[in-house]
Amino acid sequence: MLTRFKGRDTIKTWGLKLAKTKCHAKARVAVARKLAIVMHAMWRDDTFYVGDPDAEAHETDSAYAAKMQRLSLARS
């Protein structure tokens, strides 16, 4: 989540800030633990996770599919 995920997320932002003050390995473990706690709460309460409620527009599945189709056509 700290390196592969390119989107905006409150946990990622928190982890990157932590990685600047502590070592990157400790930040990875802290982010993994926080994600585990969030996922358990989602499972327990049957809720959804909204990583960045202030984001202007979240990509929908159809928008993502259209984007991937454009990329695959551009590569061919």
**Residues 39-60: tens digit of each pLDDT:** 999 999 888 887 766 654 545 5
Residue 4 lies in a domain: no
Cα 51 from chain centre: 7
9 within 8 A of 52, measured Cβ to Cβ: yes
Query: Computed from CA positions of residues 13, 16, 22, 25, in that sequence, does the dihedral angle turn out positive or negative?
Result: positive
In angstroms, the Cα distances linking 15 to 32, 55, 66 are 10, 18, 31
Residue 42 lies in a domain: yes
Residue 3 lies in a domain: no
Residue 1 lies in a domain: no
Structural domains in the chain (count): 1
49 within 8 A of 1, measured Cβ to Cβ: no
Higher pLDDT, 2 or 26: 26
pLDDT of the residue at 3: 65
39: containing domain: 10-75
Residue 28 lies in a domain: yes
- pTM of the predicted structure, to 2 decimals: 0.61
Residue 21 lies in a domain: yes
